[in-house]
Homo-oligomer: A and B are copies of this chain.
Amino acid sequence: MNSEFTIAVHSLVFLAYRPDRMATSEMIALNVNTHPSRVRKIMSCLRKQGFVRTKEGIGGGFIFNRSPDQVTLAEIYRATSIGSIKPAWCSGNEDEDCMVACNMAEVMDQVFSEAEQQLIAYFERITVADVLRRVQTAQQFKN
C-alpha cells in the first residue's frame, strides 16, 4: 500500500480537529510532513468524491464538507487506495503447460480481492471522528 490513504486520513483528521474545519495545503503539508503539492493532489481527489470542498484564491483552502463521524476509513480507502493490497507482481505463466502456473495468478487475484473486502469491512467501523478521539487518547497517555 502506498501512503495516500494515510495522508488522506491524516488530512481529514486535521481538518476535523480545526475549529473552522479549514486549512491550506501548506498548513496540512506541515502537519502531515510532506509537500503541499502532494497534499493538493490527494485533496483534489477527496474533493471530487465530496469529502471536502475547496476555496481558491486568497483566504482559501480545503474545507471538510461532511460530518467527521459520518466519514469512515472505508470510504477514504476506496477513494484513494482501492486495489493496493494486491502486489503488482503476479506469479505464474499462461504459456506454461501446467495447471498451477496457468491459474495461480487468477486465484491469487480472488484471494487478494476477498482479503481487501475484509480490510474494508474493518475500516467501515472506524470514522474520522474515531481517529481523532484515538489521537486525543494517545496524547493523554503522554501526560
Contact in complex: A10, B92 (CB < 8 Å): yes
- From the candidates B3, B31, B123, B139, name the one contacting A87 in the complex (CB within 8 A): B3
Q: Assess whether A37 is interfacial by the CB under 8 Å rule.
A: no
**Once the chains bind, are B17 and A91 in contact (CB under 8 Å)?**
no
A14 lies within 8 A of chain B by Cβ: yes
**Are B106 and A17 in contact (CB-based, < 8 A)?**
no
Prevailing SS type, chain A contact patch: helix
B1/A31 in contact, CB under 8 A = no
* A-side interface residues, number (CB < 8 Å): 53
Structural contact, B92 and A32, CB atoms closer than 8 A: yes
Question: Pick the contact of A91 from B3, B85, B102 — CB < 8 Å?
Answer: B3
Q: Contact between B1 and A138 (Cβ–Cβ < 8 Å)?
A: no
